[in-house]
Structure formats: structure tokens, C-alpha cells
Amino acid sequence: MIATQYQEVGTKSKGQLLFIGLSSYYVTMGSYIGLYSIVALGLVLLTGVAGLTSFGQAAFMGVAAYTTAILTVNYDWSPWLTLFVALGLTIAVAFILGAITLRMGGHYLPLATIAWGISLYFLFGTIPALGGSTGIADVSALQLFGVELRDEKIFYYIIWCVCLVVLRVSTNLLDSREGRAIRALKGGVSMVEAFGASGLRLKNIVFIYSAVLACLAGWLYAHMMRFVNPSPFGLGQGIEFLFMIVIGGPFSLWGAIAGSTVITLLKTVLQGVLPKLISQTGNFEIIVFGIMIVVVLQWMRGGIWSLVERLLPPKPNKPINDVSGLPQRSQPARGEALLRVDSVTKAFGGLLAVKKMSFELSAGEIVGLIGPNGAGKSTMFNLISGELPRTEGNIYIGSENVSGMRPPQIARRGLSRTFQHVRLIPGMTALENVMIGTYLRTSDGIFSAGMRLNQAHEAQVRAEAARQLRRVGLEDSMFVLAGNLSLGKQRIVEIARALCADPVLLLLDEPAAGLRHLEKQELARLLSDLRGEGLSVLIVEHDMDFLMNLVDRIVVMEFGEKLAEGLPAEIRSNPAVLEAYLGGV
Ligand code: ADP
Ligand code: MG
């Protein structure tokens, strides 16, 4: 397309050609880079950040371009009005595709977007009302205050303004309540769900957001070119958008702009050079892109932008203002029944990982759950938190039967947890990871995030996360990436995150594993302080010395069943427990 633009200019007289040809050539190229960047920004969020793949972004562009072309040419609508129709259509299609495929996870979304891209391309090419393969010409020009915007330079500025606004809004979005949860999606949904977010909803949000950006680009494209035909909206272009973010850098929004710049420029150069070199016509640039992708994926996962980032000065840490004001739960009265596990069974196929387990926990108690490896302790935790559906039995929080509820619903009832296998986002700072814990304590959506209307709440969330990190003794590591912390510290960060949820009941799965002696003492002190404040804790731990001085009662499991229950001293001298443990060791 850029090449055609160049040829058109080539008909001008020779003197003009050099100047105008060069400048309008670059202006058009710059506009393309801006348009592609808008689409690629959405794709960075979708693929790089949330870990979902779409081949259908070009098709979403096509929906918008054709919508506005048909409505302005055939029905004489104002282009500004068609933008809303295009957005509505895009959101509807993305919603339906997402609703069908995102629930199933895995490769269904990429496959569905491929099918969507291909079928739309054929639809555009074959339906006579859509202009067939020749397309639709004379699309209306955009009008602003009665002035027709036909100049390509003006379009260049419009496109880049939109692109920078999109960049800004997307940055704001990532740095918000929903954005942090979206950034956590790549590691699976179970962590964010344990803090009250719905993984499916978050995935739908990013998918629709990325489709909306593609729609915006398609609408701009139609009014810039004033002509649409099927070829720019095919599967090939959809794949090229993925190339852009992989090569530019899928984990950073700037990577989208870097990628669309590099790919667009390189494509133009290669399309000029390669056919001459090989003395044959064809899209040989694809081969070069293919090789680049392999090289980048092998040696430079962060793409070109990761190289640029190394040269940039480090970003200063945002200050933490000591503001409070997040809503706080009232703890139930000490001694009130808080958790009741009633004859709960969990079967994995033929294996009964938990068999008719029953125990209770009262408010203000710390109960230890012990047993040899494979006894079913973590499974029991996952049943209580709702991550696994139980096979039989009932679980009550307070007087409410919560069996059958999903983790977000149980989190709302005041349960907060850590995981045996740490689930932090390695690329986020300890502070940001801990902020995820407050998900249910504010309610800012993506709109207020994008517009930065969430700043008062954000300050409260940051302050709360900092407070909890200080409390667990990790103040110094606040701005360290979680992936760079020792495993012991990562476990403690998880505890701070769980505390940020302002829980009534805390579930800790082997929190002291990997901690040094002094760190364990610190942790024990913290947990008894928390008990002093009325918090209740259920803790799985192997270190008996650690447990004996801390917990009020111990429940022992073996082969999925309850082996014993009692005070620490009783358990220590229980022959059946000693047998299980010594036998187990
Ligand atoms: P613990 O935490 O006490 O070491 P787990 O609860 O992790 O034990 O595991 C209990 C038993 O259930 C083990 O035999 C384990 O292999 C099995 N198990 C745990 N999770 C699953 C699963 N998702 N699918 C099948 N078997 C599982
Ligand atoms: Mg376990």
C-alpha cells in the first residue's frame, strides 16, 4: 500500500518529486506505523501481558473500516456516528468470541480468532454489497468543525495523537486494580481468584479492549485511505501484528510501537530489495521475519524494547503517602465458630486425597494441620478456599454453607491464603504483588483506571501494601522484583498479600519452608501478634518446633483421613502420630 502511494506521487514533475515524494512517502509511512501501533498496543496487553493470543486483530480493523465505508458511502452517515456503530459491533463480536472460547482456555481463542479472521476476509471478498475484491471507494472524509480532513499530514497527527492517548490510557490501566490482576493472569487464574477477581471476566475485558483498539485503527484507516478492500484485513495481517509485538517486545507497551516501526520500515525496505536480489516477485520479507522471530524467541524474549530499556535510566519509585481509609472488616467475637469442615471427601479419579475429614476452627485460634507428604493437607486447603470442588461433605464459614462456592465468593467472606508453591508475579515488584491482595477493598473499574480517576484509592492501596510489607519485615524489599527475592522472602510477601485482603481467616500452606531460623522466629511472632488482634489462622507446616510453641490445636492427617486432633503436647506424645511421622520419614 505504501508502495502504491509512492507510485502515485511518482507522476508529479521531477523537481516536485524529490521533495513532495519523499515527505509524503514518509508521512504516509508514519501514519501506518501509528495505526499499527494502536493495534499492537492492544495485542501487547492481550498476548504479552495476559498471555492470550489473537490472530483476528486485522479482522476487527476490517469490521470498523467496512462499517464506516458502507454507512458513509451508501447511507450518507456522519463518520463520527459510524465510529459508535463500529465500536458496538466490535464489542459484540469480541464478547461472543470471548464468551465461547475463553472459558475453555488453551488454544481455543487463537483457533477461534483464526476462523473469525478467515471467514470475515472471505465475506468481505465475496459479498457484492461489500464491493467484492475491488472494495468500496470514495469513503467520506472526516470533518472537524466543518473542515474536511483530507490532508495526509493532518491524518498523521491525528493518528499519532490517538496512539499516544491509547498508550497513556493503557499505561494507566496496567497500573490499576484491574490491571494488576490482568498482569497476574499469565500464571493461571487461581491466584487472582483467591483474591476475589474473576479470571474469566478479566480475560474478557482485555480481549474486548484489544479489539476496541483494532476497531479504532480500522476506522481511522478507512478515513485516511478513503477506500477499503479486503486485502489489509486478512489473516496474514493478523499474523503480522503478532510479529510486531514479538519482535518489538511483548511485555512493554513501548514494545508495540518499537515493533510496528521496525516491521513496517523493514517490510518496505525488504519489499524493494529482496525481489531484485532473487530476481523474482513475491513476499520474501516473510522469510526474514520468520528468522527474526526465531532469533528473538531464542535469545531476546523481551524483544527490541528490552535492549532499549537497558539504556534508559531506571524509573524512580513512586512515593508512598501514608494514607489510610480502606474499608475494614470487623473480626468475629473470639471463640465464635468460624470454620467447620464436615465430613468432606475429595476424589481424584480413584484416589481419595481427602476422606471424610471433619474439624473446626474458632475465631482467634491458630490451628496447625500436619501430616506426612501426600497426606492431603494442600488438597484440604484447596477445598476450603474453593479452588477444588469437593466430592462430598460440607464446609461452613460462620453459619454459612460455602461448599460449592468459587474462590472469589469465598474470598468475599473473609478467607485469604498463601500457596504451597509460591504464586507471585516475578516481573512485578513486591509492593505491586502485595497490592493485588486489596482487590476486594476497592472497586475501581477499567474506565476510572484509564482516566486516572482512581488515584485516591490507589494511594490508599499502596499505603496499605507498604504497611503490610513493613509489618512482615520486608520494607527494604518493597521495590524489588518479586522474581529476584529469595524463596523464603517470596513466601513472606505472599503472607503480606494475604493480609492486605483484611481477612477473617488466614490459610497458610507451609509458610516457613525455606526460612532461616531467625526468620521463622519472626514469622511465629507475627502470627501470634495477628492472633492477638483477633485473626484466625489455619497453618500447614512441617517444622514441629515452629508449630508447637505457636498453635492452639493441631489436626493430624494421614492418607487423607484425620489421624488425631488435640493440644500440641498431646499430639507430640500420641503414639499413632509418632508412628505415622517416623514411618513417613
Ligand atoms: P500434602 O499437601 O499433604 O502433601 P496433597 O494434598 O498435595 O498432599 O496431595 C494429596 C494426594 O492427592 C497426593 O497423593 C497427591 O498426589 C494427590 N493429588 C493432589 N492434587 C491432585 C490433583 N490435582 N490430581 C490428582 N491427584 C492429586
Ligand atoms: Mg502440600
**Residue 374 CA to ligand 1 centre (angstroms):** 6
- Assess whether 350 and 495 both reside in one domain: no
- Beta carbons of 359 and 563 less than 8 angstroms apart: no
Residue 528, Cβ density class (10 Å: 0-12 exposed, 13-18 middle, ≥19 buried): middle
**Residue 374 CA to ligand 2 centre (angstroms):** 7
- Assess whether 397 and 434 both reside in one domain: no
Residue 67, Cβ density class (10 Å: 0-12 exposed, 13-18 middle, ≥19 buried): buried
Taking the CA atoms of residue 359, residue 543, residue 188 and residue 186 in that order, the dihedral angle to the nearest 10 degrees is 160
Q: Which helix H or strand E contains 147, and what residues bound it?
A: strand 147-149
- Assess whether 174 and 228 both reside in one domain: yes
Instruction: Collect all residues with Cβ–Cβ distance below 8 Å to 148 and sequence separation of at least 6.
Output: 141, 142
Give a yes or no: residue 254 inside a domain.
no
Structure confidence at residue 360 (pLDDT): 96
Domain span at residue 478 reads 428-502
Give a yes or no: residue 442 inside a domain.
yes
The answer to whether the CB of 357 is under 6 A from ligand 1 is: no
- Assess whether 150 and 163 both reside in one domain: yes
Give a yes or no: residue 283 inside a domain.
no
Give a yes or no: residue 516 inside a domain.
yes
Mean pLDDT across 81-100: 95
Residue 250, Cβ density class (10 Å: 0-12 exposed, 13-18 middle, ≥19 buried): buried
- Assess whether 410 and 435 both reside in one domain: no
CATH number, domain at 387? 3.40.50.300
**pLDDT tens string 86-95:** 999 999 999 9
The answer to whether the CB of 421 is under 6 A from ligand 1 is: no
Mean pLDDT across 189-208: 96
Structure confidence at residue 281 (pLDDT): 82
Question: Last residue of a domain, which of 502, 527, 543?
Answer: 502
pTM recorded for the entire structure = 0.91
Instruction: Let me know the angle formed at the C-alpha of 316 by 311 and 322, rounded to the nearest 5 degrees.
Output: 165
When the pLDDT of each residue in the chain is averaged and rounded to a whole number, the result is 91
The protein residue whose alpha carbon is closest to atom 21 in ligand 1 is 348
Give a yes or no: residue 251 inside a domain.
no
- Assess whether 410 and 494 both reside in one domain: no
Lowest mean pLDDT: which of 4-13, 235-244, 570-579?
Answer: 4-13
What are phi and psi for residue 537, nearest 5 degrees? -135, 135
- Assess whether 354 and 372 both reside in one domain: yes
- Assess whether 519 and 488 both reside in one domain: no
Pick from 348, 387, 510 the residue to mutate for probing ligand 1's pocket: most ligand atoms within 8 Å of its CB: 348
Mean pLDDT across 366-381: 94
Number of domains within the chain: 3
Question: Last residue of a domain, which of 234, 249, 265?
Answer: 234
Question: Last residue of a domain, which of 447, 468, 502?
Answer: 502
Taking the CA atoms of residue 73, residue 77, residue 83 and residue 87 in that order, the dihedral angle to the nearest 10 degrees is -90
- Assess whether 545 and 496 both reside in one domain: no
Give a yes or no: residue 45 inside a domain.
yes
Structure confidence at residue 22 (pLDDT): 54
The protein residue whose alpha carbon is closest to atom 27 in ligand 1 is 348
Mean pLDDT across 336-361: 95
Cα-based distances in Å from 3 to 21, 25, 29, 375? 11, 9, 10, 68
Give a yes or no: residue 150 inside a domain.
yes
**pLDDT tens string 420-461:** 999 999 999 999 999 999 999 999 999 999 999 999 999 999
- Assess whether 404 and 494 both reside in one domain: no
- Beta carbons of 62 and 56 less than 8 angstroms apart: no
- Beta carbons of 257 and 40 less than 8 angstroms apart: yes
Largest Cα span, the chain: 101
- Assess whether 24 and 96 both reside in one domain: yes
- Beta carbons of 426 and 433 less than 8 angstroms apart: no
- Assess whether 515 and 492 both reside in one domain: no
Give a yes or no: residue 261 inside a domain.
no
pLDDT band of 18, cuts 50, 70, 90: very low
- Between residues 3 and 359, the one the model is more confident about: 359
The answer to whether the CB of 355 is under 6 A from ligand 1 is: no
